[in-house]
C-alpha cells in the first residue's frame, strides 16, 4: 500500500514512515525538504499519484493565532483537493485530545478548523486525537515558567511516547476509515503538577514547580479533564515516562 506521510520528516512522521516500511508498505515522506509543500501545492499531485492513504502529521511553524489558523486551513484545503483529484481513499490526521474543550486557545481553534474541513471534504477519513507527547514535556515546562518557577495546574495529565503515537497512527492508516475519531493516551495518568515535579527532578532541573490552579496551558486555563480522554475508550500506549527517559537518555 502506498501511504504518503505529510510532515514525514518530523518527529512523528519519521517514526511513522519507518514503522510502515517495516510492515511492507510504500511509505513516502512528504515535506518541504522533499519537494512537497502543502501551502503552495508544490509537488502534491506528483507525490499523491497512486497513493491509497494520506497521513497528515504536519505542523505550523508559527503558533500565533492568525498564522496557525491560516496554515491549517490553507494546507489542509490544498491537500484534500489534491487527494480528491488523485483518488485517495483514506485521509488520516493527528489532532489533540480536548480541542473542543478549549476553543479560546488559538492552536486548538486552528485544529478544530482543520478537522471541520476534513469532515466536510467527502474524502473518507480518520482523526487520531492524542494527548501530549513525552517529547514536548520540556517545552511545556519552559512555557509555564514565570520568574524562574514552573507554574502548573493540579489537573489530570496523561502524556504519551512518540513511538506509541506513530504505532497508533500507523494502525489507523492501514485500517478502514473511521469517518470519526479515535483517542490515544499514555499508559499512566498523573496530576500534572506532580508529573512535572518528578520530570524536572529526573532531568536534574532545579526549577521549583508551583501548584497553581490558575496556571495557563499555552494561554488557556485548564479544568480537571481538559487534557485527558473523557471515557475509557481511548487506546493506551505501552511506554511509561520512566522507560522513555531511560531509552532516550533525556533524563541525563
Q: What is the pLDDT of residues 183-192, one digit of tens each?
A: 999 999 999 9
pLDDT(231) > 90: no
What's the pLDDT band for 181 if we cut at 50, 70, 90? very high
Is pLDDT above 90 for 146? Answer: yes
Listed in sequence order, the residues at least 6 apart from 106 whose beta carbon sits closer than 8 Å to its beta carbon are: 63, 64, 65, 68, 69, 219
**Which segment of 7-16, 59-68, 127-136, 140-149 scores lowest on mean pLDDT?**
59-68
Check which CATH number belongs to the domain holding 14 and give it: 3.40.50.720
Whether the CB-CB separation of 141 and 150 falls below 8 Å is answered with: yes
From its phi and psi, is residue 178 left (phi > 0), alpha (psi between -120 and 50) or beta? alpha
Band of residue 232 on the pLDDT scale cut at 50, 70, 90: confident
- Bridge-partner residues for 125, per DSSP? 91
Across 75-79, 150-154, 214-218, least confident range: 214-218
> What's the CA gap between 3 and 50, in Å, rounded?
9
In total, how many domains does the chain have?
1
**pLDDT (0 to 100) of residue 251:** 54
Instruction: Locate the DSSP E strands across the chain.
Output: 2-6, 26-30, 53-56, 90-96, 125-130, 145-146, 149-152, 156-157, 180-185, 190-191, 209-211, 216-217, 220-221, 235-236
Residue 252: band (very low, low, confident or very high) from pLDDT cuts 50, 70, 90: very low
Task: For the chain, give the percent of residues with pLDDT over 70.
Answer: 99
Secondary structure of residue 67 in the 3-state scheme: helix
Domain span at residue 62 reads 2-248
Mean pLDDT confidence for 64-69: 94
Reply yes or no on whether the pLDDT at 151 is more than 70: yes
Whether the per-residue pLDDT at 74 is higher than 90: the answer is yes
Using the Cα atoms of residue 92, residue 96, residue 101 and residue 102 in order, give the sign of their dihedral: negative
Question: H or E segment at 166?
Answer: helix 162-173
Which residues lie closer than 8 Å to 59 by C-beta, 6 or more apart? 7, 10
Cβ pair 95, 125 in contact under 8 A? no
Are 192 and 154 within 8 A, CB to CB?
yes
Residue 213 has pLDDT above 90, yes or no: yes
Are 34 and 22 a contacting pair, CB within 8 Å? no
Q: Output the CA angle 133-134-140, nearest 5 degrees.
A: 80
- How far is Cα 121 from Cα 119, in angstroms, rounded to an integer? 6
Which residues 6+ apart lie within 8 Å of 246 measured at CB?
none
Please give the average per-residue pLDDT across 189-216, as a whole number. 97
Integer-rounded Cα radius of gyration of the chain = 18
Does the pLDDT of residue 80 top 90, yes or no?
yes
pTM: predicted TM-score of the whole model, two decimal places: 0.94
Amino acid at each position: 500500500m502506498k501511504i504518503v506521510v505529510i510532515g514525514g520528516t518530523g518527529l512523528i512522521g519519521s517514526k511513522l514512515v519507518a514503522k510502515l516500511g517495516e510492515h511492507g508498505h510504500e511509505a513516502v515522506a512528504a515535506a518541504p525538504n522533499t519537494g512537497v509543500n502543502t501551502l503552495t501545492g508544490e509537488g502534491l499531485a506528483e507525490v499523491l499519484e497512486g497513493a491509497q492513504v494520506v497521513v497528515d502529521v504536519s505542523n505550523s511553524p508559527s503558533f500565533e493565532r492568525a498564522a496557525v489558523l491560516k496554515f491549517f486551513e490553507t494546507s489542509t484545503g490544498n491537500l484534500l483537493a489534491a487527494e480528491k483529484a488523485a483518488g485517495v481513499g483514506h485521509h488520516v490526521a493527528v489532532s489533540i485530545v480536548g480541542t473542543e474543550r478549549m476553543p479560546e486557545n488559538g492552536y486548538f481553534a486552528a485544529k478544530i478548523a482543520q478537522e471541520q474541513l476534513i469532515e466536510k471534504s467527502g474524502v473518507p477519513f480518520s482523526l487520531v486525537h492524542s494527548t501530549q507527547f513525552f517529547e514536548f514535556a520540556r517545552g511545556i515546562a519552559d512555557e509555564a515558567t514565570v520568574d524562574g518557577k514552573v507554574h502548573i495546574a493540579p489537573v489530570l495529565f496523561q502524556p504519551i511516547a512518540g513511538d506509541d503515537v506513530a504505532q497508533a497512527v500507523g494502525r489507523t492508516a492501514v485500517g478502514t476509515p473511521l469517518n470519526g475519531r479515535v483517542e490515544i493516551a499514555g499508559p499512566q495518568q498523573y496530576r500534572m503538577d506532580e508529573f512535572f515535579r518528578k520530570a524536572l527532578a529526573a532531568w536534574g532541573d532545579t526549577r521549583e514547580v508551583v501548584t497553581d490552579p490558575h496556571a495557563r496551558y499555552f494561554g488557556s486555563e485548564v479544568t480537571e479533564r481538559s487534557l485527558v480522554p473523557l471515557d475509557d475508550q481511548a487506546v493506551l500506549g505501552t511506554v511509561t515516562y520512566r522507560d522513555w527517559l531511560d531509552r532516550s537518555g533525556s533524563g541525563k
